[in-house]
Structure formats: structure tokens, C-alpha cells
Amino acid sequence: MRRATIGVFDSGVGGLTVLRELVARIPDADYIYFGDTARLPYGSKSRETIARYAVSATKFLEEQGAELLVIACNTASALALDAIREAAHVDAIGVVEPGAEAAAAATRRNKVLVIGTEATIKSHAYQRALEKRGVEVCEKACPLFVPLIEEGWAEHPVTQQVAHVYLDDVFHDFETGPDVLVLGCTHYPLIKPLLRSVAPWRVEIVDSAEATARCVAESLRIAPPKTSEGAERRKFTRMKFFATDSVEKFRSLGERFMGHALEDVQRVDMGG
């Protein structure tokens, strides 16, 4: 079977959690990852600027041979996916719709909490996607999680305390509150065990990275590998990484997100 070449785009390193899930689900593919680390954070920029950056990045991925684009950035998925699809010559899949679809399927009482960065929450992209599916939505911006995760504090007591501050009010009454928690930021899978300890045990956690990988596999009509085969096949998965800022910093953070060293990392200058 011919190997697919999948391009993955994010404003930084967070999208590596999506790449990790893609590799687990689709090991027999080639991956090209683009992290626009020189121009992050996207959340403080206008919709027009985000769209311009995202379109230039995805065009670069196409030039590198990408046959399918995965927009792993929640902000770009929320604010620029239409512009990307209009400019691209290949299909593009964002993280918002797969995450919303998984949450709608998981909730039993039609009440979902979405956590994310300020930019993603202000876009109300998850809210619109979930309300379209008849689900009541509570949104919560959790801006401290990203710097804590990048500091390497995914299991630190300070991060757990911050999580309690963000979430305890929402989950104070499980019987009437949300029964699903959506991780609306690609950094957040790294603190999933911590969030599991903070949220009520009956609350299901939906990881938009996992949901996106399932969506991509379904679009390519690829069944998940058998457990006995997956690890062996992943040894032959080819990955190439591009970053617009320090390669050393990308490698250092990227290893934390991927769980292994990143070999082929190149710096690329995208201009202003």
C-alpha cells in the first residue's frame, strides 16, 4: 500500500500531541510537521494575520509533499480553517470539529465543559460546534496551563493547584454540571493525568488530539493497527520537522511532547 504523506501544522510545539496520536493510529505514513515558533502566540493576533500565517505555513507543507493537512493549532482551526481550505489544493482537517463530535458522542446529559487558551475560548468555535449538535456548553479559559507545561511542570503541585482554581467551581455539583471535559488545547494532553485527578471520576475527558487522529484515519480509510503490530510498524514511521525559530528549543520541548528525541529538525524562514 502506498504511504500517505501527512502535513501537520501548529503555531508551536503543542501540535506534536496530535502528531503523536496520528503516528499511533497511522504508523505507515510519512509526516511533515511545521511549527511556527517565531510568530507565536497566534492568540494575540488578528483573524486576518492568523489566516495569513496559517495559509503560508500550509502552502509550505504542500510544497514539501503533504497530501493531507492536519491543522493541529486550535486557534488556527477556529479562525483560519476556511481560509486554509480555500487556498489549499489538498484536504485540511482541523481539531475543533473532531473534538466536538467526540464530546457530543460521550456526553450523557448534554452538558460539556471546554477548556482552552484565551484565544480559542474567545472564538467560541467549540461552543458553536457543540451547540450545532444540541449540546449545552460551558467554556473556561485556562491561560496558565501552557507556560506551566512548557516549563516542565506537568506533574507539579502548583499546576494541580491551578487546575483546582480553574475547575472546582464548574464541577462543584456533578449531578447538575458537565459530564464531559474537552481538552481544547494541544498542550493539555500532557496534563491529562493531573486533570483526571482534579475532575470528578465520572467526568469523561475528551482529547481533541485523539479525536482528530481518528478522524484522519477514517478519512484515509485506515484501520487502527493491532497492538502487537503497532510498535513494530512505528519504528519505520518517517518524520520531518520544520520550525521558524530555534531548532534547539524546538527539539528540547518537542522531546517532552513526543516522548522521544526528534531527529530531523530544520529551521525555515517564513518572513514577516
pLDDT of residue 174: 76
**Three-class HEC string of the chain:** CCCEEEEEEECCCCCHHHHHHHHHHCCCEEEEEEECCCCCCHHHCCHHHHHHHHHHHHHHHHHCCCCEEEECCHHHHHHCHHHHHHHCCCEEEECHHHHHHHHHHHCCCCEEEEEECHHHHHHCHHHHHHHCCCCEEEEEECCCHHHHHHCCCCCCHHHHHHHHHHHCCCCCCCCCCCCEEEECCCCHHHHHHHHHHHCCCCCEEEEHHHHHHHHHHHHCCCCCCCHHHHHHHHCCCEEEEEECCCHHHHHHHHHHHHCCCCCCEEECCCCC
| Res 118 pLDDT > 80 | yes
Out of 117-121, 170-174, 216-220, 246-250, pick the least confident. 170-174
Q: Which CATH class is domain 97-208?
A: alpha beta
pTM of the model: 0.94
pLDDT in tens, 221-252: 888 877 656 566 767 789 999 999 999 999 99
Q: Is 4-94+211-267 in CATH node 3.30.465.10?
A: no
Residue 231: predicted pLDDT: 62
pLDDT value at residue 258 = 95
- Determine which one of 138, 142, 185, 215 is catalytic: 185
Average pLDDT for residues 7-29, to the nearest whole number?
A: 96
Out of 73, 138, 142, 215, the active site residue is 73
CATH 3.40.50.1860, the chain: domain bounds: 4-94+211-267, 97-208
Q: To the nearest whole number, what is the mean pLDDT of the chain?
A: 94
pLDDT at 271 over 90: no
Please give the residue that has the higher pLDDT: either 209 or 2.
209
Least confident interval from 130-144, 167-181, 193-207, 227-241? 227-241
Does the annotation mark 73 as catalytic?
yes
Contact 58, 87 (CB under 8 A): yes
Q: How confident is the model at residue 123 (pLDDT cuts 50, 70, 90)?
A: very high
Which of 109-123, 227-241, 250-264 is the least confident region? 227-241
Give mean pLDDT, residues 11-19: 96
Q: Is the pLDDT of residue 81 over 80?
A: yes
**Is 142 among the catalytic positions?**
no
Contact 32, 65 (CB under 8 A): yes
Of 126-135, 160-169, 224-233, the one with minimum mean pLDDT is: 224-233
Binning pLDDT at 50, 70 and 90, where does residue 272 land?
Answer: low
Q: How far apart are CA 129 and CA 147, in angstroms?
A: 27
* Contact call for residues 139 and 130 (beta carbons, < 8 A): no
User: Quick one: which of 97, 257, 130 has its CA closest to 190?
Assistant: 257
Give dist(CA 76, CA 253) in Å, integer: 21
Cis peptide before 98 (omega within 30 of 0): no
Cell numbers that stand for 261 in this block: 528525541
Q: Count CB neighbours of 237 within 10 A.
A: 16
